[in-house]
Homo-oligomer: A and B are copies of this chain.
Amino acid sequence: MDLRHLHTFVAVAEERSFSRAATRLRVAQSAVSRTVQALERDLGRPLFERSRHHVELTKTGLATLDSARAALAAAEAVRAAARQTCPCALSPTP
């Protein structure tokens, strides 16, 4: 499980398009395709129904989307928690 995978998954789900997601993420379409494949392999379920000209979420994709967003938010929260400590922190334990 990789946060980058989830980020890509959410982008494709929101854009309903691999190519638009690629544009948004500023990577090549092939990278998006492979990343989603990797996540689907990891979860053991297809996340999208690829019909040549439009992309649709599977049931699994739909059920997973919210928790994927939550996981990304949780990761952001980690960064926020670290930043929240005093500007340039060591803890001298005085």
For A77, list chain B residues within 8 Å (CB).
Answer: 67, 70-71
The one of B63, B75, B91 in contact with A81, judged by C-beta atoms closer than 8 angstroms, is B63
Interface residues on A, range: 35 or more
Contacts of A78 in B (CB 8 A): 1, 6, 43, 64, 67-68, 70-71
> Does the CB pair B49–A93 fall under 8 Å?
yes
Seen from chain A, the residues whose Cβ lies within 8 Å of a Cβ on chain B are 1-3, 6, 43-46, 49, 56, 58-60, 63-64, 66-68, 70-71, 73-75, 77-86, 89-91, 93
Known: A58-B90, A60-B89. 11 other contacts (CB 8 A): A3-B3, A43-B83, A45-B85, A45-B89, A58-B91, A63-B84, A64-B78, A64-B81, A66-B81, A67-B74, A74-B75
